Amino acid sequence: MTRPIAARISLDALSENLSRVRDYAPGSGVLSVVKANAYGHGLLPVAGALSDSDGYALLDLDDALKLRASGFRQKIVLLEGFFSIDELQAISENGIDVVVHSVEQIDMLASGRLTGKINLFLKCNTGMNRLGFRPDVLSDMLCRLGNCGKIVLMTHFSSADGEEGVSRQMNAFDAATASMGFPRSLANSAALIRYPETRADWVRPGIMLYGASPFPEVKAETLGLKPAMTLVSRIIAVQEVKAGESVGYGAMFRAERPMRIGIVACGYADGYPRHAPNGTPVLVAGRLTGTMGRVSMDMLYVDITGIGSAGIGTEVVLWGAGLPVEDVAKACGTISYELLCALASRVPVTYY
Ligand SMILES: *Cc1c(COP(=O)(O)O)cnc(C)c1O
């Protein structure tokens, strides 16, 4: 037997989650966000499962070219655009759309001797203060664009998942773009679910496609989403510890009573967060229990004191089916996105 860890990815869950996006935003084109190796799920298999998308959004030109080489004809958008003039010919020849967010990019477009045109997503910074032109210069930038094909106006929200909401940014975007008459793209997962007014021409869902909730207080299930990735492993050793004994590096956990502890073949080199505290939820033989002690590079500890049937070989679910990745993330003080994206390349991935 090989080391028992694996990430099992449900292609049906991905395509069903895409159907939920269609339910929420029936009038919008869907750009499925597949950046970061499709949030850790694997670019090409995910793109295949999501082939009903109207397009894909990602970061690297190489990945965009891989999609084209694999026969994907949908729109492809580079969310950070291009970084040097050398990329423009391949972008144009392969019909790839680019986000344009800086004057430097506009200058490169104007000076590149292109044989074809490039479709642009012109990005407006309405308050995120990450990428984009401020609303008051947007129309100047439109006038300076050369060598471009179709134009979409876009912005990105800072707080669609939180209390602040989208209204301030939405108003700024509306005011800047109302008279321009181009298609528009605003919404990530949180915005397209919660704020119908943001759906517009193109929505850009990411996390919801992978079956995790974008909202801290709402379960994915409630939103009709199914987790795509289940990270599983097995118990490879059992220790009986006495009251007062400690477990693992730094003796971070100390038993107050006799306990049975399962050693699981999953560590931070697999992508499990090292800062997971004692009691981070985990499923052992389908039963909810908690981690204990500090996560090692290759192993972690789970409490199996109350699970008599658990022993060497028992299956452990770290997150996914039966244990939302959001719950694990919350216990670790992070978000589902970080855990999913951090899945290590050494973890074998299977698709079903
Ligand atoms: C990552 C990203 C998205 C997707 O966000 P989710 O919260 O995962 O839905 C959408 N738009 C842009 C610009 C992004 O960078």
Ligand 1 in reach of 81 Cβ (< 6 A): no
- The CB density around residue 151, as the number of other CB atoms within 10 Å, is 18
Query: Residue-wise over 97-109: b if at least 16 C-beta within 10 A, else e?
Result: bbbbbbeebbebb
Ligand 1 center–CA 225 separation, angstroms: 17
Atom of ligand 1 nearest to the CA of 189: 9
For every residue of 144-213, which 3-state class applies, written as one string?
Answer: HCCCEEEEEEECCCCCCCCCCCCHHHHHHHHHHHCCCCCCEECCCHHHHHHCHHHCCCEECCCHHHHCCC
Ligand 1 center–CA 214 separation, angstroms: 11
Give the residue, by CA position, lying nearest to ligand 1 atom 6: 206
* Residue 350 DSSP symbol: E
3-class state of residue 102 by DSSP? coil
Ligand 1 center–CA 265 separation, angstroms: 32
* Residue 124 DSSP symbol: B
**What residues contact residue 125 under an 8 Å CB cut-off, 6+ apart?**
101, 131, 132, 133, 134, 135, 155
Task: Measure Cα distances from 101 to 14, 35, 110, 131, 262 in Å.
Answer: 30, 18, 14, 6, 51
* DSSP letters for 46-101: HHHHTTTSSEEEES-HHHHHHHHHTT--SEEEETT--SSGGGHHHHHHTT-EEEE-
Q: Which of 24, 150, 249, 351 is catalytic?
A: 249
Ligand 1 in reach of 156 Cβ (< 6 A): yes
Does the annotation count 35 as an active-site position? yes
pLDDT of residue 63: 98
Q: How far is CA 150 from the centre of its chain?
A: 27
Q: Which amino acid is at 352?
A: Y
**What residues contact residue 195 under an 8 Å CB cut-off, 6+ apart?**
160, 165, 166, 170, 187
Does the annotation count 75 as an active-site position? no
Ligand 1 center–CA 1 separation, angstroms: 39
Ligand 1 in reach of 189 Cβ (< 6 A): yes
Q: What is the pLDDT along the chain (352 residues), one digit of tens a residue?
A: 699 999 999 999 999 999 999 999 999 999 999 999 999 999 999 999 999 999 999 999 999 999 999 999 999 999 999 999 999 999 999 999 999 999 999 999 988 777 789 999 999 999 999 999 999 999 999 999 877 899 999 999 999 999 999 999 999 999 999 999 999 999 999 999 999 999 999 999 999 999 999 999 999 999 999 999 999 999 999 999 999 999 999 999 999 999 999 999 999 999 999 999 999 999 999 999 999 999 999 999 999 999 999 999 999 999 999 999 999 999 999 999 999 999 999 999 999 9
pLDDT of residue 116: 86
Which of 17, 33, 199, 215 has most ligand 1 atoms within 8 Å of CB, for mutation?
33
Ligand 1 center–CA 224 separation, angstroms: 19
**Cα separation of 35 and 55, whole Å?**
13
Ligand 1 in reach of 204 Cβ (< 6 A): yes
Atom of ligand 1 nearest to the CA of 33: 4
Ligand 1 center–CA 327 separation, angstroms: 21
Ligand 1 in reach of 213 Cβ (< 6 A): no
